[in-house]
Amino acid sequence: MKDLTNKKILFIICGGISAYKSLETIRLFRKNKAQIKTILTKNAKEFVTPLSVASLSQGKVYDDLFNLENETEMDHISLSRWSDAIVVAPATANSIAKISQGFSEDLASTVILASNKQVFLAPAMNVRMWEHQSTKKNLKILRNYGYKIIGPRIGEMACGEYGKGKMTEPLDIYNEVFNFLQQNSKYKKIKALVTAGPTNEYIDPVRFLTNKSSGKQGYEIAKSLYKRGFDTTLISGPTNLTIEEDIKLIKVETAEEMFKATQKNLPTDLAVFSAAVADFKINKKIDTKIKKKDSFIINLEKNVDILNYVSNHNSLRPKLVIGFAAETNDLDENAIIKLNSKNCDWIIANDISKKNKGFNSDFNEVTIHYKNSKKKKEKLSCKRKSEISEEIVDRIVSQFN
């Protein structure tokens, strides 16, 4: 059997007849040396007891969100950070609906919402519930968010009906989680560098040139890479965003500062340049605040081209260099020009002329242009930037595999 020594699994058991299978699943993880902590939902305790779960897991069993003892020992944020992966088995139709809508009404849903780790869902429900449009919609949302769905199987239900909805067998759940954790261990050796946000190019001590980039797409890419196990560094221009403490964050303001920070963090295996770096800067910054009565002329000069420098570096060029192209017109044409002129491997192009996607929005629609691939381009339809980042990182993982 495959060994999970030093791996930490948070197991969430929801209320369903398949909850009894969770005991065997937990036993299998423990047998192969994984550390286990368990959350039982209120309905789950109608099917399995905290004592039986504790006996098999040899770890703490949590249930009530507002239990003072639990919160003193380990709060719900720490519990989600403790784990290497979260397994929800069985994942009932009700729990899937709550998770997809972002509810946090109990400990299980709160931990999942607060988690920055991979979540696996093993659905179990009646075949009609599985086939219902609302369930299909909820699962689609969760897949787009990056959740992994294991099963279900086709077979005879406890209610006597036959069809798809039976929870996946414990060994199959174990193998799915094991394979993910093994990949993550491999990616920990792969260094990833991401740039995000705008840059500010000062005219005088209080005024500067900038753009409307929020940095959201770059931050989400960094989060997705970290979740997959990459050793991730994020170099960020001025934003109001936050990032996980385990991701190395370097804050900069100007293009020159971003360039120097990038140089210091080379070599790296992967570089994603999503920052909207200002193309121009002031030729000579004025040292004192310009007054209204003063007349002045701004002279601009080209800024440092970070993407071009890294992608054409002889010895420090990453294995995979990805640039972004924010365009208002001729999207594909301009992206291809940039792909070739900058010598990068991929260009991810997005149209920033629409108010509801791109710059300063939670949504994006992008086209990936590939330089050395049979597939020359691929469009990712409009969705949340967190979902776009998962799709981009899926393709990065495939490239490194």
CA angle, 104 as apex, 99 and 107 as ends, to 5°?
100
**Prior bond to 123 cis, omega within 30?**
no
Cβ–Cβ under 8 Å, residues 254 and 199: yes
Q: What phi and psi, each to the nearest 5 degrees, are found at residue 385?
A: -65, -30
Cα 346 from chain centroid? 19
Closest CA to 246 of 273, 225, 218: 225
Closest CA to 76 of 25, 127, 110: 110
Cβ–Cβ under 8 Å, residues 323 and 367: no
In terms of phi and psi (left: phi > 0; alpha: psi -120 to 50; beta: otherwise), the region of 332 is alpha
**Catalytic residue set:** 159
Whole-number Cα distances in Å, 244 to 86, 232, 268, 292: 17, 11, 20, 43
Cα 243 from chain centroid? 11
State both tokens at 29.
Answer: 């993880």
Tell me if residue 240 falls in helix, strand or coil.
Answer: coil
Cβ–Cβ under 8 Å, residues 116 and 242: no
H helix and E strand count, the chain? 14, 20
The H-or-E segment that residue 331 falls in is helix 331-341
Whole-number Cα distances in Å, 218 to 3, 119, 176, 198, 277: 35, 22, 29, 11, 12
The H-or-E segment that residue 120 falls in is strand 118-123
In terms of phi and psi (left: phi > 0; alpha: psi -120 to 50; beta: otherwise), the region of 343 is left
Start-end of H helices in 87-169:
93-100, 107-114, 127-131, 133-145
Look at strands 231-236 and 248-251 and give their pairing: parallel
